Amino acid sequence: MYSRSNPSSAMPRPMARGGRSPRARMRLALLSLILIQAGCAVGPDFKSPALPDAAKRGYAETPLPDATAAAKAGPAGASQRLVPGGDLPEQWWTLFRSPELDQLIRAALERNPTLEAAQAALSQARENYNAASGNLLFPSVNAQLGGGRQRAILSGGSPSEFNVYNATVNVSYTLDVFGGSRRQLEGLMAAADYQRFQTEAAYQTLIANVVTAAVQEAALRGQLEATRELLKAQEAQLAIVDKQVALGAQPRAAALSQGTLAAQTRAQIPPLEKAQAQTRNLLAALAGRFPGEGGLPEFRLESMKLPDELPVSLPSDLARQRPDIRASEALLHQASAQVGVAAANQYPQITLSGNYGTQHTVMNGMDVGNTLWGVSGGLLQPLFNAGALSAKRRAAEAAYRQAEAQYRATVLKAFQNVADSLRAVDSDAQALKAQAEAEAQARESLDVHSRQYKLGGISYLALLDAERGYQQARIGLIQAQAARYNDTAALFLALGGGWWKQPAAN
């Protein structure tokens, strides 16, 4: 004997085609849609450009010495040791050991309007990215409320007035199936990165400008003092020659020659005074002050110290440290994202929208409510645009090639800056050594002439000639000292300025 089973329990449940229930198929379709949206993005995936092998070999065609020449010329004559791969400090200007310079740079960083404008531009770029991410990554949800009073004449009846109220929530979302929205956000993020590195470049340039202007102001002050002393000696010499001409001991031509020499030296003073005044005006402007405010410190070369060590970043690290190279890379990244945007525009766009709400009609003491909802989807596929979308994509690819070439040019210029600065540091140290020797010999000659004059061995004119030679050598020494300070600041700026040491930098 056997028992017949219940047909209803023996028969299999209906399954969707492919062996899955309708609910399982819906879940699978939703999952597939999410995976497609998350993983598919047309256009190139950006990668940071690799540094050419030739750039990694070094900054100069011939190796530089490990240390610069030393000179007996005060703090500016110290030898500087090059430290390959050394760590550049964030506040590199403090290596000059000048409290006045530190004070002025702090004021400039707080009040300089150019730096403030760069910071505002950075905030703008970041907020633009935040705004776009909210629009592109998330659905748009809007609430709509409405109300009104209407009048209607029903069939076979008298006119009736009633109130209508409605409340609706609308949701709309464009699926980023081909990554166009993500590429747009990628481009906006690259634009924010560009502005961030531009801000860092403005920060470092401002500091370098303050340092070089302070050095220039100190050098002009020293040159003015030496030129005035030289003019004083020449005028004293001219007075003696005039007396000799009056007594018939010297021809008139001697007085004219000496007068011409004094006039030429006197003519050098107004340009130096003008340059010094303009330099102080520049310092005031860099510090965010008006020229008439005053309060600027006075700088002297003797109050500054030349850094004993010069950290020199490795060539392979320079592209990560120079703000201008990073800014150019960000532009390249932005151009790469725009290629993806142009490519995504050639593919379909899928938009989903839905709404849910209620509507109430109030009339003759009755409240009739209705629930309203709707779901819709749309697909937009470009069919014919006379090649406009293809042309835009080719234009974006050309813009990428342009940005790529500009990036290479920026890298070449950066390596040139470092090579020039390193050569200047070495060459100007040798020039200062030679100038210091010339100044020492001129000073020794002046001492010898002074002793000989006291003993009656030479004339006063010979003593004044020695004084003039010494003052001219002194002016040359001041200029050579200023060049060493400026070259050191230029090297720090060429290497990037240490901005990556900041906690917020990455």
Domain ranges of the chain: 43-138+177-347+389-501
Q: What is the pLDDT of residues 320-378, one digit of tens each?
A: 999 999 999 999 999 999 999 999 888 888 888 889 888 887 777 677 778 888 888 88
Q: Where are the alpha helices (DSSP H) in 40-139?
A: 53-56, 99-111, 113-137
When pLDDT is cut at 50, 70 and 90, the band that residue 23 belongs to is: low
390-419: string of b/e by CB count within 10 Å (b at 16+)?
eebbeebbebbeebbeebeebbeebbebbb
Share of the chain above pLDDT 70, in %: 90
Question: What are the CB-based long-range contacts (under 8 Å, 24+) for 255-263?
Answer: 258/234, 261/234, 262/231, 262/234, 262/235, 262/237, 262/238
Could you tell me the pTM of the whole model?
0.81
Judge whether residue 4 has pLDDT over 50: no
Q: What residues have CB less than 8 Å from 111, skipping those under 6 apart?
A: 287, 288, 289
Helix, strand or coil for residue 352? strand
Is domain 43-138+177-347+389-501 in CATH 3.90.870.10, yes or no?
no
Q: Mean pLDDT over residues 490-503, rounded?
A: 84
> Which comes out higher in pLDDT, residue 378 or 271?
271
Q: What is the pLDDT of residues 123-139, one digit of tens each?
A: 999 999 898 888 888 88
Least Cα distance to 202 among 333, 335, 327 occurs for 327
Judge whether residue 473 has pLDDT over 70: yes
Strand partners, 165: 147, 360
Q: What is the pLDDT of residues 430-471, one digit of tens each?
A: 999 999 999 999 999 989 988 897 787 888 778 888 888 888
**How many CA atoms within 13 Å lie on the side-chain side of 488?**
30
DSSP string, 175-213: E-TTSHHHHHHHHHHHHHHHHHHHHHHHHHHHHHHHHHH
| Whole-number average pLDDT of the chain | 85
Using CB atoms within 10 Å of the CB of residue 151, give its burial: 0 to 12 exposed, 13 to 18 middle, 19+ buried. Answer: exposed
